[in-house]
């Protein structure tokens, strides 16, 4: 049970959220700014001093500080989402206010952050409300995950992990929402599972995939997953994020794909291997794409490289940079070889000679 101080603190935060939503509802000219400020406030990370007040014992068991990195990050929406599950009535006014401004762009984002646990853990009987809320959840989660993509942060990792591990992989919870919402949620998770470093859940995730109406034409869960992934790759514009996806894509090895899906993935990766349009990939992205392509499709790797080299020769303006990079690579290789030789000789000299 949370302490009185914890409950009081969270109740005060709830009142502040209600006040800002009411101001946004009454002031149409300031609505966008107020909603944006509210979204930023609940997405803030909780500082060390406030953690002792608002974190409950359950929170500490779930997120261990020793984990480090983004997985141990605790934001205000984390504790508020737990609070609205423990005390469902406390978030009722916030829900009513959000419903009145659904059309505002940040409304679904705020709903997804604050009520993603409430939607699946509270008792909701009205199917129409479930359809509306589940649709808003998917829409809002999509928006916040793209914010993480654009900023190359993982502030909303806990939301993604909950939707994956506690909803998508738990039939009792995922079946609470409509079949179309289930499919939309699985497609959403497919697009971001690589970004949030949860590839180890891929096998069990594919086993839980719902039945899609177009499965006869598209293929099974693996095909649908790869199609979503290739579409996601083509939308990425942040180089570190794209490199991260390409480094994780080796997890696709061994998946049974249809020929059309395999060709689609191969074409997507190949589009990142050459400079210029339409992707304009950097050198690092091109090399990562080649590595992923050669790993997933080893057959024909040498003809692919020869064809790529031939087309590079058709663009003379790329020759200087290619020659320079080739020379630098050769110099680095020779230098590293010399250093390895020196260190190996040094180690041999330091070894005591046998009598």
pLDDT digits (tens, 9 = 90+) for 86-140: 988 899 999 999 999 988 889 999 999 999 999 998 877 777 788 889 999 999 9
Residue 6 CB-half CA count within 13 A: 19
The whole-angstrom separation of Cα 127 and Cα 253 is: 40
Directed axis angle between helix 301-313 and helix 283-296, to 10°? 150
Which comes out higher in pLDDT, residue 90 or 50? 90
What 255-262 contacts at long range (C-beta under 8 Å, 24+ apart), as own/partner pairs, is 255/222, 255/226, 256/220, 256/222, 257/219, 257/222, 257/223, 257/226, 258/219, 258/223, 260/219, 261/219, 261/222, 261/223, 261/226, 261/227, 262/297
pLDDT of residue 72: 61
How is residue 329 written in tokens? 């690579």
Residue written as token pair 């894509």: 249
pLDDT beyond 70 at 155: yes
Q: What's the CA gap between 253 and 81, in Å, rounded?
A: 37
Top-confidence residue, 53 or 297: 297
| Residues 193/202, Cβ–Cβ less than 8 Å | yes
How far is residue 144 CA from its own chain's centroid?
10
Q: Measured on CA atoms in the order 153, 159, 160, 162, is the torsion positive or negative? A: positive
Polymer length in residues for the chain:
355
**Contact 155/73 with Cβ under 8 angstroms?**
yes
Q: State if pTM tops 0.85.
A: no
The model's pLDDT over 209-237, given as tens digits with 9 standing for 90+, comes to 988 888 778 889 999 999 999 999 999 99
- 278: preceding bond cis by omega (within 30 degrees): yes
Judged by DSSP in three states, 75 sits in strand
Question: What SS3 state is found at 132?
Answer: helix
Query: Which pLDDT band, with edges at 50, 70 and 90, does 167 fall under?
Result: very high
Residue 69 has pLDDT above 60, yes or no: no
Tell me, what's the pLDDT at 354? Answer: 57
- Weakest mean pLDDT among 201-210, 218-227, 267-276: 267-276
Residues paired with 75 in a beta bridge: 45
CA 240, CA 284: separation in Å to the nearest integer?
10
Query: Domain coordinates of the chain in residue numbers?
Result: 1-169, 319-355
């Amino acid at each position: 049970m949370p302490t009185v101080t914890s409950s009081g603190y969270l109740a005060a935060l709830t009142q502040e959220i209600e006040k800002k939503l009411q101001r946004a509802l009454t002031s149409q000219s300031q609505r966008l700014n107020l909603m944006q400020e509210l979204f930023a406030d609940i997405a803030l990370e909780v500082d060390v001093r406030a953690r002792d007040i608002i974190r409950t014992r359950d929170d500490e068991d779930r997120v261990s500080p020793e984990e480090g990195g983004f997985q141990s990050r605790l934001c205000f929406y984390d504790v508020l989402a737990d609070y609205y599950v423990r005390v469902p009535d406390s978030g009722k006014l916030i829900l009513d206010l959000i419903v009145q401004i659904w059309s505002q762009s940040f409304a679904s984002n705020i709903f997804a952050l604050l009520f993603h646990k409430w939607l699946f853990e509270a008792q909701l009987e009205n199917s129409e409300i479930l359809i509306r809320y589940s649709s808003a959840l998917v829409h809002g989660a999509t928006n916040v995950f793209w914010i993480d993509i654009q900023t190359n942060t993982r502030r909303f990792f806990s939301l993604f992990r909950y939707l994956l591990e506690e909803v998508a992989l738990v039939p009792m919870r995922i079946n609470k929402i409509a079949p179309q919402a289930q499919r939309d949620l699985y497609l959403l998770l497919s697009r971001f599972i690589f970004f949030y470093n949860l590839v180890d859940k891929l096998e069990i995730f594919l086993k839980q995939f719902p039945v899609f109406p177009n499965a006869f034409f598209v293929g099974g869960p693996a095909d649908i997953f790869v199609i979503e992934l290739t579409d996601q790759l083509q939308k990425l514009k942040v180089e570190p994020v794209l490199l991260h996806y390409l480094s994780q894509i080796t997890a696709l090895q061994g998946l049974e794909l249809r020929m059309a899906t395999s060709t689609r993935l191969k074409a997507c990766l190949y589009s990142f291997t050459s400079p210029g349009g339409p992707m304009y990939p950097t050198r690092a992205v091109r090399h990562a794409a080649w590595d992923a392509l050669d790993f997933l499709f080893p057959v024909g790797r040498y003809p692919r490289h020869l064809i790529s080299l031939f087309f590079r020769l058709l663009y003379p303006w790329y020759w200087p940079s290619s020659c320079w990079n080739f020379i630098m690579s050769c110099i680095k290789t020779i230098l590293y070889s010399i250093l390895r030789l020196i260190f190996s000789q040094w180690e041999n000299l330091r070894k005591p000679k046998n009598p």
